[in-house]
Structure formats: C-alpha cells, structure tokens
Structure 1
Amino acid sequence: MGVVLEGSNIVHLGGTRMWIVSTCFAFSGESSDAQVLQELIAADGYGHDFAAPFSGHNTAGAVPVHGRWRLACITAEQFEPTTVDDAARTIRSWSTDQDWYDPEYRHAPEVLEQIEGVIDGLDAGSLHRLRHPGPESEHDYAATVGGTGFHEYVVIDRGQGRVTVVVASDD
C-alpha cells in the first residue's frame, strides 16, 4: 500500500487570515484505518507548516513540521474517530465565533457555501480528528499558525481510494 498526494484546495475566509485546506491523497490496498493513517503521516505532502504556500512536498527545513508541531510527534494513535456532526459543529463555530474587529462582520454567502461544501465532504468515509500533540511538540515558529484554532480531520474513503486531510486554521 502507499499514500500518494493528488492535490489540494483552499477556501479563504475573505477579510480574515483564516482558511480551510483540503489535501487529497490516493491510496490502494486493504489496510486498517490505523495503517492508512501511518502511511498518510509518512507521505510526501502531509508535512506542511501551513504558514507558507503549499509546494506539494513536505515543508523543508531542519525539522520537518506539520501545522504547529514537529512531524515526528504526530502518530496514527493521535487520530480519534469522530462524527460529521461534531466536526461540522467545530468548523462552523470556529469560522464564525471569533472576536472580530468589526462586530458586524459576517462571511460572504459564497464563503459560507464553500465551508458547507467542505463539511459535506466529511461524510465520504471514516472520519478521524487529530488530537494535538501538545506544546512540548511545537516547532520554533509554531505561533505563526493556529491563533484561532487548528482543527484537522482525515476522511478515509475506501470506495474512491482517497484520503482527504481537512485543516481549518489561520496564519
């Protein structure tokens, strides 16, 4: 089995530094979710700091990173099964319940539609949520992402042979 990067898409939450990135990987073979998650973590394209444009390869540097953490500190065991309802509630709350500079600020209808499109894709297979490794696992520039939260979900769609990583955060 192997997990191979296919591509990514980003939804910018206009007027903010917030975004939702969906990164798709292909996989084949009959493996458990834990094995697919292990392969995903090891795949080129999973390790990304989310502070720089996505090159399609793991973030270069002295220490490979993923989000706020050193990549070596993320394991398959840190992904726990979750429900689409819980993930949807988290993403919707994160995307709207912020201390905006302008208390009247609201996302444009097309942005809300894009957020709902991402949420709709979460039911394509088994859904897992990354439990954060903790502050001791953060890399040197961790504070550049996740000021409003760092929410990561992985959808394992066996029917399509696809793994989708959905990260809702900011930079």
Structure 2
Amino acid sequence: MDNRLAHEESTFINFRRYFPNPKEHGFRWVDIRQLRFSADSVDDRGLLAALIGHEQFRDDYAGGGVLPDGLRHGPYWLRLITPDLYESISQETAVQILRGWVDPLWDVNTELEADLQREVFARLAAADGIYYLSELGDEAIHDWGRVHDYFHEFVLIDRSAGRIMLIVAADD
C-alpha cells in the first residue's frame, strides 16, 4: 500500500434516490473518493500509481466495498491496471462523457442536477488534471466483471488543494 495518499472522504450518489421507478436511471450511481497528497508528491503519473496502490482503489463496485487485499477494481483485474492506461482529457470531454451517460437529452431531476454539479462538475472545473481510464478489453475483465452496463472512471488531480479524486460513474 502507498502511504503518500490519505483517504479523506467518500461520497455516493445513488440515482434511486431521485427516481422512484428503477427503469428511470434507478441502477446508476456515482462514487467519489477523495484523498490528500503532500505538496512534495511526484508528477501526475506517480500520483496515479500511488492511487492504484492505495486500498481505496481495491473496490469491485458490486456491493463488497473496499477490500484491502482485493484483486479487483470495478470490472477489471487490479494487476492489469497501470498509470499508462489513463488518458489525459479536457474538462469539456469529461463533462460530455458524464452528461451523455446520465441522460443524453439531459432531462435530469433538479435535485440530482444540483448534487452532480456540487459533487462532480465543480470538482472537474477545479482540477488541474483529469484522467480517464481507457477500455481495457476483454482479457482484463475479471471472472464476474460484466455486472456493470457502463463503467466510467475519472481521476482528478487538484494540486492547489493537494487532493486526488477517484470518480466512478456506473450502472448495474
């Protein structure tokens, strides 16, 4: 485990709270993990490596929570995830991916929109770097990793605040 990062807080936005009918986004959610890093931390790739090595990264996002000795991350085998798989993207691209996933027509409940703005979009706007986990391919999918219909993962680095955020938007 990497000691350069300290977990500060987690936020979970479950769309079921906003839509009484599960067929209307009821199985979608956003999980946000915020970790602090020291001012003397390494470059972005080094921070990505530290995040991958942190226990908060060991979550299959299928109900089991963080498993300190876990072998899975989302739908993927943890051992196959490296910093090089993360693509640097613009804030505009990240927003486009997320808004398209939430609802292509952006016909979203007002309360959900406010929560997403505060917890996700404001953090995207403040980030110095935004990284998106590329599709890893079938060989990286673990033994029951296809429980997610969509799995979008972003890592935000905010150097002025000394924070790295792992944002996973998925549905199952």
Report TM bin, short chain: 0.7 to 0.9
2:125 aligned residue? 123
**Matching residue of 1:13:** 15
Q: CA deviation at 1:159?
A: 1.2
Q: What does 1:144-159 align with in structure 2 at a 5 Å threshold? A: 144-145=147-148, 147=149, 149-159=150-160
Aligned to 2:34: 24
Residue type of the partner of 2:131? H
Unaligned runs of 5+ in 2: 20-25
8 Å CA contact 1:8, 1:23 repeated in 2? yes
SS at match of 1:9: strand
Matched residue of 1:150: which SS?
strand
Match of 1:102 in 2: none
Contact 1:47 1:58 (C-alpha < 8 Å) held by counterparts: yes
- Structure 1's unaligned 5+ residue stretches are 99-105
Structure 1 residue ranges (4+ consecutive) displaced by more than 6 angstroms after TM superposition = none
- 2-structure distance, mates of 1:22, 1:59: 20
Matched residue of 1:160: which SS? coil
Give the deviation of 1:150 after TM superposition. Answer: 1.0
Distance across 1 between alignment mates of 2:141 and 2:135: 10
Q: Return the match for 2:80 from 73, 81, 101.
A: 73
- Verify the 8 A CA contact 2:5 2:35 in the aligned structure 1: yes
In structure 2, how many angstroms separate the alpha carbons of the residues matched to 1:169 and 1:58?
Answer: 22
SS of 1:156 mapped into structure 2:
strand
Q: What TM-score do you get using the length of structure 2 for normalisation? A: 0.85
Give the percent of matched residue pairs that are identical in Structure 1 and Structure 2.
27
Partners of 1:59 and 1:135 in 2: CA distance: 23
**1:164 shift after superposition:** 0.3
SS at match of 2:111: helix
How far does the alpha carbon of each residue in 1:146-171 deviate from its partner, in whole angstroms, 9 at most, with x for none?
x0x21111111111111001111012
The number of equivalent residue pairs is 158
CA RMSD of aligned residues (A): 1.8
